[in-house]
Chain A
Amino acid sequence: QKEVEQNSGPLSVPEGAIASLNCTYSDRVSQSFFWYRQYSGKSPELIMSIYSNGDKEDGRFTAQLNKASQYVSLLIRDSQPSDSATYLCAVSSFNKFYFGSGTKLNVKP
């Protein structure tokens, strides 16, 4: 079983809609959780970090963490075509980071 699981997509949403990206992880002692955005041919860019249960909002982005269910999600409100990218969920435990395979998001104009 992989440490971090994501649906590979592609997830297609119309411009202005809410995009919902999900991630589950297997290690119960995981301590830190991250969402990265990666455009084709570019390196991953950190969007959000979340460390405790609940919601964390930053602009159009909201990360949600539920440690009991070992579940992390990212909501993107008012999706824009420029949000089209692959979104990587990452989980860290002590000094190691584990990445999901990413969900490809397409925002259609």
Chain B
Amino acid sequence: EADIYQTPRYLVIGTGKKITLECSQTMGHDKMYWYQQDPGMELHLIHYSYGVNSTEKGDLSSESTVSRIRTEHFPLTLESARPSHTSQYLCASSELRGRGSNTGELFFGEGSRLTVL
């Protein structure tokens, strides 16, 4: 079973507030990811990191930012939330399956459901 934790699980806030979604994993995985998913819709990659001090934007443009100061921690921040940011945010992590480029399994946290009023 994967050990990846997200907080808060549910958050309702007003427009203009700054929020940070926390994600931590205890598996020592180098790679961490943030996905955004609306109900019944596809997963969209918004940020990823291959290690400490490494962050990249994903395929879906997002106004959020991320940081990776410690291996186990990959928080996502919205400086000024808007109703269009209402969605489920899923954090995930993976490790190399072996030496080289084979990718190991991706494990998800339970998600943070954000509602911006």
Most chain A CB neighbours (cut-off 10 Å) among B31, B43, B101: B43
In the complex, whether A42 has a CB less than 8 A from a CB of chain B is yes
**B window 73-117: CB within 8 A of A:** 90, 94, 97, 101-111
Are B90 and A43 closer than 8 Å at their CB atoms?
yes
In the complex, whether A45 has a CB less than 8 A from a CB of chain B is yes
Specify the chain B residue showing the minimal Cβ separation from A88.
B43
Interface residues on A, range: 20 to 34
Say whether, besides A42-B110, A42-B111, A44-B108, A32 and B103 are in contact (CB < 8 Å).
yes
Interchain CB contact (< 8 A) of B106 among A46, A100, A102: A46
In the complex, whether B34 has a CB less than 8 A from a CB of chain A is no
Say whether, besides A42-B110, A42-B111, A51 and B105 are in contact (CB < 8 Å).
no
Are A95 and B101 closer than 8 Å at their CB atoms?
yes
A45 cross-chain contacts in B, Cβ below 8 A = 108
Are A101 and B42 closer than 8 Å at their CB atoms?
yes
Are A92 and B108 closer than 8 Å at their CB atoms?
no
Q: Using a CB–CB distance below 8 Å, which chain A residues touch chain B?
A: 31-32, 34, 40-46, 49, 51, 88, 90, 92-97, 99-102
